[in-house]
Amino acid sequence: MDGLQAERAGERAEEKYRALALDTALSTLVAVAVYVLVKVSLDGVRQWRARISVLVVGSGPVGLTAALVAVRSGKVLKLTVLDERHRSALLCRPQQIALDARSVEFLLGLGVDFDNMEGCWHNEHFFTRIGVFQEHLLSILEQKKREVDVTVQLGTKFTEDYLRRIPQNDWPSVIVVADGSCGDSCSVLGISSDYTVESCHAYGANATIERLDQRQVPTSEIRAHSLYFDLSAYGVEALREHRSPTTKPGFHLKIYGTLRNRYMALVCPTSDTKMVRFLRHTANSSIMKNIFHQSFNAYKTDIEPRLSDVTHHHMQCSRRLFEIQLSHRRISAAYIEGDNVAVTVEGEAARVLNFDTGCGVNLGMRGLESMGSFIYRTATAVDQNDILEALSAKMQHSRHVAEIFKQTGLAESIEKTAFHEIFKTELIVLCGRHVNEKRDCATASYARTEKLLLSMIQQRNARAESDEVSGQLLQRIICGYMYVFEMQANVHVLVRSDQDDLKDPPKPVQQPEAVLVHLVGYSA
């Protein structure tokens, strides 16, 4: 009897312990759930309310775009834009920028209104003067003053003295350095100036033309491909070298800029052909000048005046071909521990090409694609480790941008064209060192040329997007090649079809002192 009672008492005690353990477990789970819920809610509120101060050094296209990214991130309480140049010097620069489709999409997401900006569209690229673009971004930042404390300090240089004048409590949490390849802001902040220099596996040359009688009107770029130059007049027998199946593709030519300030870029893949070797090592600067001179006259727009022997002195160009190289900083992000400041380097201050493609601003825009995420992670960081992780991700992205450009960037900037290959002709341009009198070439007429080009397009089944585009392209081709029959001064051209549908082509005038420039390909 006593044993039975003791057994029942033990069972009741065990049930009581089980109930107590269950209550304890449930209470613990509820407490943990409440803690997690409260913590997540508090973290969410903290992240939502997190705001930081950002300083952007440099008000070029990349610097102002970085400032706009910072404002659009929603995590900036105060934004300061600094530039040592005054407003007049900043907005009156003659250069033209070309924004590709990816940059246009990126800027549209930031609120940039291309419909209210002076410029022109071509192949999904937007072309405008650099000053017009900067003024538009400055106007957007001015409008953002209702949401964020925005201060633009033009005519103020970023120096150690400037930093000392900032009160300790007002120091920015993020500093964006975008003062160009010649800026010294990185040295002021103690960031290493070590660069990694990598080859783009191409040779190139640049030329500039300033014509004060022309207007600063933005124009679309002109690209020509598979150009070959015969330099037999200078002792280089390379006339038939390009016909070899082992020879790499020829030169790519690009003409860009406003009508007043025209720029040209000439690129070829690395090779050891006689022509390339000669153009890389020649001491005769007039050779490259002649090439650029005649190439411009061949591919210029029909509304532009030709370069003559009287006006070609306005052109400055590279003396010879040089290797195209990309230099990018080994350290493009840093953390100033004592002041708790994260620094990122953007634009040409981070990576720069020793060759002008006319599309350099797009390389800077690629680096800014991770700027919004970087500012968000920095603003919501709990401790120093979170900031260091954000800096590490930013630096990794910067290296990725440089690597991608090294592989494909040059081809996209110079070689790539959005038009399909409509036809293929061979143009032989004689660039004489001794200019003879004008010669008449009356055997070719405008009507015959139009008929020939139309026949070539029909035979090759041109894949233009529409009849309207095809018609515009045909008109541009005809206008662009009418110089063939002008035969002015020292330029004489022979047009030959691949289909032998031109029976009696005009004969080029033979000049012993001439440089033969073979242009095989098309322009877009």
- Average pLDDT of the segment spanning 279-291: 89
> pLDDT class for 20, splitting at 50, 70, 90?
confident
- Quick one: 44 and 58 in the same domain? no
- Smallest CA-to-CA distance from 496 within 508, 479, 487, 480 is with 508
- Average pLDDT of the segment spanning 112-124: 91
What's the CA dihedral at 383, 387, 390, 395 to 10 degrees? -150
- Quick one: 91 and 186 in the same domain? yes
Q: In this structure, what are the phi and psi dihedrals at residue 247, rounded to the nearest 5 degrees? A: -75, 135
- Say whether pLDDT at 232 is over 90: no
Residues facing 263 on adjacent strands: 208, 256
Q: Of 24-38, 186-200, 439-453, 482-496, which has the strongest mean pLDDT?
A: 186-200
Distance CA 221, CA 99 (A): 11
- Smallest CA-to-CA distance from 460 within 416, 433, 422 is with 422
- For residue 436, being part of any structural domain is answered with yes
The reported pLDDT for the residue numbered 434 is 31
151 vs 505, more confident: 151
- Average pLDDT of the segment spanning 361-382: 93
Question: Residue 116 carries which DSSP code?
Answer: G
The reported pLDDT for the residue numbered 363 is 94
- For residue 16, being part of any structural domain is answered with no
- For residue 314, being part of any structural domain is answered with yes
Which of 415, 430, 460 is the endpoint of a domain? 415
- Say whether pLDDT at 278 is over 80: yes
- Say whether pLDDT at 285 is over 80: yes
- Name the pTM for this structure: 0.73
244 vs 428, more confident: 244
Q: In which element (H, E) is residue 290 found? A: helix 285-299
Distance CA 110, CA 405 (A): 23
260 vs 40, more confident: 260
- Quick one: 182 and 61 in the same domain? yes
Q: Which residues contact 96 (CB under 8 A, 6 or more apart)?
A: 127, 128, 129, 130, 218, 219, 256, 257, 258, 261, 358
Burial class for 33, CB neighbours closer than 10 Å (0-12, 13-18, 19+) = exposed
- For residue 15, being part of any structural domain is answered with no
- Say whether pLDDT at 170 is over 70: yes
The reported pLDDT for the residue numbered 108 is 95
- Average pLDDT of the segment spanning 123-132: 93
213 vs 524, more confident: 213
Pairing of strands 322-329, 351-353: antiparallel
229 vs 55, more confident: 55
Which 3 state secondary structure label does DSSP give 367? helix
3-state secondary structure string across 123-189: CCEEEEEHHHHHHHHHHHHHHHHHCCEEEEEECCCCCHHHHHCCCHHHCCCEEEECCCCCCCHHHHH
- Quick one: 468 and 502 in the same domain? yes
- Say whether pLDDT at 421 is over 50: no
In this structure, of 126-140, 284-298, 319-333, the range with the lowest mean pLDDT score is 284-298
- Quick one: 300 and 337 in the same domain? no
33 vs 257, more confident: 257
In this structure, of 8-17, 34-43, 494-503, the range with the lowest mean pLDDT score is 494-503
- Quick one: 403 and 460 in the same domain? no
- Average pLDDT of the segment spanning 190-216: 91
- For residue 264, being part of any structural domain is answered with yes
Q: Which residues contact 297 (CB under 8 A, 6 or more apart)?
A: 306, 307, 483, 491
> pLDDT class for 117, splitting at 50, 70, 90?
very high
The separation between CA 291 and the C-alpha centre of its own chain, rounded to angstroms, equals: 26
- Say whether pLDDT at 395 is over 70: yes
- Quick one: 319 and 467 in the same domain? no
The separation between CA 244 and the C-alpha centre of its own chain, rounded to angstroms, equals: 34
Half-sphere exposure of residue 69, counting CA atoms within 13 Å on the CB side?
25
How many angstroms separate the Cα of 185 from the Cα of each of 83, 296, 312, 427? 11, 39, 39, 50
- Say whether pLDDT at 432 is over 90: no
- Quick one: 395 and 439 in the same domain? no
2 vs 497, more confident: 2
Distance CA 209, CA 264 (A): 8
Token pair in block for residue 322: 């040089």
Residue type, 46: R
- Average pLDDT of the segment spanning 246-262: 83
How many angstroms separate the Cα of 61 from the Cα of each of 178, 208, 479? 9, 21, 35
What's the CA dihedral at 20, 26, 27, 30 to 10 degrees? 180
- Say whether pLDDT at 448 is over 60: no
- Quick one: 58 and 164 in the same domain? yes
Average pLDDT, the chain: 77
- Quick one: 385 and 432 in the same domain? no
The reported pLDDT for the residue numbered 92 is 85
- Average pLDDT of the segment spanning 93-101: 90
The reported pLDDT for the residue numbered 49 is 61
> pLDDT class for 208, splitting at 50, 70, 90?
very high
- For residue 382, being part of any structural domain is answered with yes
Which of 293, 323, 353 is the endpoint of a domain? 323
How many angstroms separate the Cα of 353 from the Cα of each of 52, 194, 317, 348, 451? 33, 15, 17, 8, 44
- Quick one: 281 and 359 in the same domain? no
- Average pLDDT of the segment spanning 262-269: 93
Which of 267, 291, 323 is the endpoint of a domain? 323
The reported pLDDT for the residue numbered 147 is 86
- Say whether pLDDT at 134 is over 90: yes
Question: Residue 485 sits in which domain range?
Answer: 420-524
Helices (H), 369-466: 371-379, 384-404, 410, 446-459
The reported pLDDT for the residue numbered 433 is 34
The reported pLDDT for the residue numbered 517 is 38
- For residue 3, being part of any structural domain is answered with no
- Smallest CA-to-CA distance from 220 within 126, 129, 360 is with 126
Sheet architecture: strand order including 341-345: 149-154, 76-83, 52-57, 174-177, 341-345, 333-336
> pLDDT class for 500, splitting at 50, 70, 90?
very low
pLDDT tens string 25-71: 777 777 777 766 665 555 555 455 668 999 999 999 999 999 999 99
- Say whether pLDDT at 2 is over 70: no
Number of compact structural domains in the chain = 4
- For residue 2, being part of any structural domain is answered with no
- Say whether pLDDT at 328 is over 90: yes
> pLDDT class for 372, splitting at 50, 70, 90?
very high
The reported pLDDT for the residue numbered 5 is 65
- Quick one: 168 and 90 in the same domain? yes
